[in-house]
Amino acid sequence: MESVGDHLSDSNGVLCIDGISCSEIALRFGTPVFVTSERRIRDSYRRIYDAFATNRKKFRLHYALKANNNLSIIRILRSEGAGADCSGPAEIFLARLSGFSPEEILYSGNYNSDSELEYALRSGCIINLDDATILDRLLAHGDPSIISFRINPGVGKGKYEGIVTAGPDAKFGMREQEALSAYRHAMKAGIRRFGMHMMTGSNVLDAEYFPIVSEKLMGIASRISTELGIEFEFIDIGGGFGVPYQPGEEALPIEEVAKSVVGVFETALSGNSRMGDPTLVVEPGRYLVCDSTVLLSTVTHVKRSYKTFIGCDAGMNTLLRPALYGAYHEVLLANRLGMKRNMVANITGQICENSDMMAKDRNMPEASPGDILAFLNAGAYGFSMSSRYNTRPMASEVLISGGKAEVIREREDFTDMLQRQRVPAHLL
């Protein structure tokens, strides 16, 4: 079987997750279902945490909740010692509900509304602002004790164009001059504690990129520090640590990345004593949860005509990434592994859109209705980007831990779709 991590195995031709058969899971819980290995999340957390923490004592890791907002998964990462990276009030709410203290939460919004700023301030979390002029709008609601600004260092990188989050075409962050005046303004407003942040792109497998972009950020931090005489409590280099999805891609050598980033970080600090001794922060999402999860789906119909289409009950409503970015997800015939891939097919969901393609021109084994497909690497930006389009209920989620499978999010039913709808009297 394709090598995809030791939580996945082949037992007599059936894909197993931590020893539990995918055919059984599909039978017991129905499909589409996201199935997550708790052990794999913990392993991934420890791998990246240890890589950085062995190189720098003052280090913190915040889990980016946007990648997967399931409460059980958030709690697994909290129990490992992660902090939380939140993109909006509802994520701050989830983080607080999951037991994170306000100081363990970093809120990086963008184009925030006043009510969002007020919510964040009231929650007591650390606020990271995307534009200098948002500070005045925040100050109208009260005085934060610490503030951070998101820098756009002028370059970004991501596996797909849509996930590059810095550089001239990105909507995020501020340039050095703007940041300089933002920190100056914050000082005038009486704020004395500062952080600095960037997030330049997602799913980066190029190890050399991380020290290069970190060096840019450290240069900006150093110059601002000197100019204004401020120290930074933390400097956050964002997430973006990539995971291989397709054949031929190599895993990111995270120890090497951590070592070189810490090297750049500490060299900058030793070159400018005014910067203080900030905590190095990273905020990965994908790296922690992506490969922990497979999406199981049942083949519903195979059309053999001008092309071959394998239709299944998971589509762009369940896993949006192929339709949105043209993203590649490996697809296995989970109940009959090891079969020869002797046909070329498009794999499609049941949505009335032609972009509802989960894979295009993919070499696949002969599949028939009732077979189980496994879409790999579905743990990051899988469920969290899914929708009810075409009035399809949201999928369920199952967690495998300690040799047991348990539902962690129930499948929706039709009545869930009626929630909060109101029909005016004249239409009744």
Closest CA to 102 of 48, 43, 144: 144
Told to check if 283 binds ligand LLP by CB under 6 A, we report yes
Annotation says 352 is catalytic: yes
Among 44, 203, 297, 346, binds ligand LLP (CB under 6 A): 203
Least distance to ligand LLP, CB of residue 128, Å: 8
Q: How far apart are CA 323 and CA 328, in angstroms?
A: 10
Told to check if 245 binds ligand LLP by CB under 6 A, we report no
Q: Is 108 exposed, middle or buried (0-12, 13-18, 19+ CB in 10 A)?
A: buried
Token pair for 360: 């295009």
Told to check if 163 binds ligand LLP by CB under 6 A, we report yes
Question: What residues numbered 312-341 form the site for ligand LLP, per CB under 6 A?
Answer: 321
Among 108, 152, 225, 396, binds ligand LLP (CB under 6 A): 108
Residue-wise DSSP of 207-272: TTHHHHHHHHHHHHHHHHHHHHT---SEEE----B----STTPPPP-HHHHHHHHHHHHHHHHHH-
The stretch near ligand LLP (CB under 6 A) out of 176-184, 222-230, 285-293, 297-305 is 285-293
65, HSE (Cβ side, Cα atoms, 13 Å): 30
Cβ atoms of residues 236 and 148 within 8 Å: yes
**Chain residue at closest Cβ approach to ligand LLP:** 239
Residue-wise DSSP of 270-305: HH-GGG--PEEEE--SHHHHGGGEEEEEEEEEEEES
Least distance to ligand LLP, CB of residue 241, Å: 6
Among 36, 202, 298, 335, binds ligand LLP (CB under 6 A): 202
Residue closer to ligand LLP by CB (options 200, 335) is 200
Told to check if 264 binds ligand LLP by CB under 6 A, we report no
Q: How far apart are CA 226 and CA 103, in angstroms?
A: 27
Least distance to ligand LLP, CB of residue 100, Å: 16
Q: How far apart are CA 378 and CA 382, in angstroms?
A: 5
Least distance to ligand LLP, CB of residue 173, Å: 10
| CA 59-149-175 angle, 5° bins | 120
Among 153, 284, 322, 379, binds ligand LLP (CB under 6 A): 284
Question: What residues numbered 287-306 form the site for ligand LLP, per CB under 6 A?
Answer: 287
Residue closer to ligand LLP by CB (options 53, 67) is 67
Among 285, 311, 315, 322, binds ligand LLP (CB under 6 A): 285
Run of H or E residues at 27: helix 22-29
> Which residues are known catalytic residues?
352
Residues that bind ligand LLP (CB under 6 A): 64, 66-67, 85, 108, 163, 165, 199, 202-203, 238-241, 283-287, 321, 380-381
